[in-house]
Structure 1
Amino acid sequence: MTDAPPRFGIWALVHGSRAARQDPEEPFDASWSRNRALILEAEALGFDSTLVAQHTFNPYDPTKGQLEAWTASAALAGITSRIEIITAIKPLLYNPVVLAKMALQIEEISGGRFAINLVNAWNRAEMDKSGLPFPEHDDRYTLGDEWLSVVEPLLRGERVDHRGPHFQVQEAVIVPRASTRARPRIYIGGESEPARALAAARGDVWFINGQPIEDVAALIADVARRPRSGAPLRYGLSAFVIARATEDEALAAYERLATLAELDKPVLARQAIHIDPATVMHRTMAKSPRLGTNGGTAAGLVGTYDQVAERIAAFHQTGIETFMLQFQPFEAEMRRFAAEVMPRVRSRLGSG
């Protein structure tokens, strides 16, 4: 159990709709203008954070648009005032010194509300198109561990000299350093053994993909028992929410999206050849039908307002602090969640 109140975040719509891409109620739109309006509204509604996933090309349909994560996050930092901005990064794409400089600049723009989310690349096509190598799964985590061993002290304003198999850094120090705290927060994604080890050793928050509560509890127990220095690791969960006044309404909304999602299968099948089969996220998602990405509805947040609130409270009791949520149609369902579910969760947990 976490002693912190629950935090609610939203996935930015960096590559369009999360559950069904041919939804007449939510036409495809991954534009800056939509994401700008979405995150400003999320902040006004009381959401605590937003996760901006990082891809150069749309991983589900390369003919569609894809928001550029880091330039968009810098812009978001300048127009928001409270919401945390978490931006994903694949170590294969950015030199650690350059990335640390970018992160500290956004930290300054935001006034101390920035975080990085280190993720292991799973889409080989993205690297191939960019002319970059795509090492084997565990080798990518070895590289990520070394990359983060350079980035983390740089984020603290420390001088770094490093000689390793992937990076050589000479007397690097980033100025100015973070002014409101020691450094930006570090989120770690992934559920493989190397990802768990990296989260326990170097992360502030470990993101878990949506799945049943008993599986989430087992994952937390495994990582929590690992050796760690510094503050305790905190935990986040991705989930797709369908909440309605009645169970029948929630089921009908689920079935509508499930029917529409069937239309996406030909495109997704063509793109599946680029997915690294060693990626645990995709093996987990294949266990059962679900809507949304990163586990989606497998977390079970489909039902009445009270049922969804009770399930969130139960996840919080297992140790989940941050809930990174998806909806569709996004804006309307985000408003519904803020009005109907957030107050119920906080009432159950006595957190406001």
Structure 2
Amino acid sequence: MSTLPPRFGVWALVHGSRAALQDPDEPYDASWARNKALVLEAERLGYDSVLIAQHTINPHNPDFDQLEAWTASAALAALTERIEIIAAIKPYLYHPVVLAKMAQQIEHISGGRFAINLVNAWNRPELERAGIGFAEHDARYAYGREWITVVDALLRGERTRFHGEHFNVDDYLLRPADPYRERPLIYVGGESEPARQLVADKGDVWFINGQPLADVEALIAELRARRRPTAHAPLRFGLSAFVIARETDDDATRHLDHLFALATKDAPLRAQQKSNIDPKAVMFQTFAQTPRVGSNGGTAAGLVGSYDTVAERMARFHRAGIELFMLQFQPFEHDMRRFAEEVAPRVRRLTR
């Protein structure tokens, strides 16, 4: 069981709707204006975190809008007061020295509320069309391991020397150092063997994609059994999930069916997206096993039902070790409010 109280976060709508892209009740909108309003409201509603996924081009269709993660994170850091801001990063897009300095600055702007979500990329065109190249799966993780080693040391305020296959950093020091804590938290995503070992060695929080409770329990047990550097705190766990909470289980099921029906209209876009995916990405292998709506596992976690049903299922995930629930909704703003009012208080009571 997690020894920490449950926390609730939301996915920023960096590339529009999360479940069905052609929903008349939620027009496709990935604008800065919408995301700013959404995060400010999430903070007012009591949400603890926001995750800003990183894409430079829209993963569904390059003609669609796409929010830029790091400039948005800096702006949100200045506009908010309490909510944790987690910015995803794909190491090939930034040199670690440059990225560490950016992260350090956002940490200062936020007053110690910033975090990095390390992901090692699955969308080929984003890197290939830029001329960066898309390395093989395990090679991307080897690169990411060197990258985060450099970033970690710099964020700790250490005078950094690193000589590896990909980076040669000589006597680098970033100032001013972090006045709030040792360094920002590092969240790590991915479920392949290289990803698991990377989070055990370098991460603070493992982001698990939405999936059934038994599978999540097994993943947590496996990671807890791995050795970690002695100086590291125990690993913490987060779960991505799409929530449909209504007054009754039947009401929630009807909305799920409605979203499934809407999602069939996105079949051509999903096929295009699938063709861009690295087939070795475990995330998408897992997704193929369970019908779902939403990204990063979506409704596969089973958080569909009445307010009490969803709260009880989330309490079971919390007992399994999940501390942070990173949530998606559709219609997003409406259901984000509903969750804050009806479900979050129930989960807190059940896990008190």
TM (norm. structure 1) is 0.99
Alignment of 1:47-196 (within 5 A): 47-196=47-196
Aligned positions of 1:200-211 closer than 5 A: 200-211=200-211
Partner of 1:258: 260
Matched with 1:234 is 236
**CA–CA distance in 2 between the matches of 1:92 and 1:304?**
43
2:331 — aligned with what?
329
Q: Is the 8 A contact 2:30 2:65 kept in 1?
A: yes
Q: Distance in 1 between matches of 2:143 and 2:272?
A: 29
Q: Distance in 1 between matches of 2:288 and 2:18?
A: 16
Other structure's SS at 2:92 match: coil
Alignment partner of 1:285 out of 283, 287, 298: 287
Partner of 2:217: 217
Task: Quote the Cα distance in structure 2 between the aligned partners of 1:57 and 1:289.
Answer: 26
Unaligned 5+ segments in structure 2 are: none
Between stretches 264-273 and 310-319, larger displacement belongs to 264-273
Of the three residues 305, 309, 320, the one matched with 1:318 is 320
- Aligned counterparts, 1:331-346, within 5 A: 331-346=333-348
Match for 2:66: what amino acid? Q
Partner of 2:28: 28
Rounded Cα–Cα distance in structure 1 between residues aligned with 2:128 and 2:349? 49
Deviation per CA, 1:35-57, whole angstroms, max 9, x where unpaired? 00000000000000000000000
Q: Secondary structure at the match of 1:323?
A: strand
1:24 Cα deviation from its structure 2 partner: 0.4
Question: For the residues of structure 1 that align with 2:199 and 2:273, how far apart are their CA atoms?
Answer: 29
Question: Secondary structure at the residue paired with 1:263?
Answer: helix
- The runs of at least 4 consecutive aligned structure 1 residues that moved more than 2 Å come to none
| Unaligned stretches of 5+ residues in structure 1 | none
**What letter is aligned with 1:305?**
Y
CA distance in 1, matches of 2:285, 2:127: 21
Give the C-alpha shift of residue 271 in structure 1.
2.5
The letter of the residue matching 2:294 is G
Letter in 2 for 1:292: G
**Residue of structure 1 equivalent to 2:300:** 298
Whole-angstrom CA distance in 2 between matches of 1:128 and 1:143: 16
Distance apart, 1:129 and its partner CA: 1.5
Any idea what SS the aligned residue of 2:170 has?
strand
